Structure 1
């Protein structure tokens, strides 16, 4: 299997390279004299939801389609997770690059790279 590194990841999944540039631009709006800033809150609410679809264990699952308004409400159950139904929805990896993108190593590499762009927390609840 191909070892995960940023150069390969950015080439085979260009949306992650775009996200990398977007994060770098977004944090330019955080002024050095801002007294309150939470890197964890920003990361987990604004960046991580994208990452999980592009790299790691969440890659390969089809996105859910929107339902028309008025469709009946369906209760949330965990049966499809517990009996393996969720895994049947995942598309199989078709090449070694796709296999690499689905590894925890690739996820960790992307997570750490994007998080490193953020300025440190200041006067937030996680300190």
Structure 2
């Protein structure tokens, strides 16, 4: 059930990113809230591991943000998603980057800036399958 809610949140974030090239604060906050619900429902999950993994994800994506390759909303949503996905976040980021590369090759002729959140939503869906 939480996977479906996460996918709905990511879909809404992707729509907003396409329209405005921004992602609101409500999306990472919602994903983070669902992640903490997940921790309470599954007490065997190591919170320490998830915190360290999320810190690593934030660090890597923050560097991409500093270089101008990714937006701040993408960093926030991906970091919040790492609290839910754990180590699978790296699969999600790999799928997302591949999907983004494919559609950027097609759409780059039309736009100079492309939203990354649709690729994150699609990459998460692939990872959850």
Q: Do the two structures share a fold, i.e. TM-score over 0.5?
A: no
Greater helix share, 1 or 2? 2
User: Of the two structures, which has the highest relative contact order with CA contacts closer than 8 Å and spacing of 6 or more?
Assistant: 1
- Pair member with larger Rg: 1
What TM-score results when the alignment is normalised by the length of structure 1? 0.32
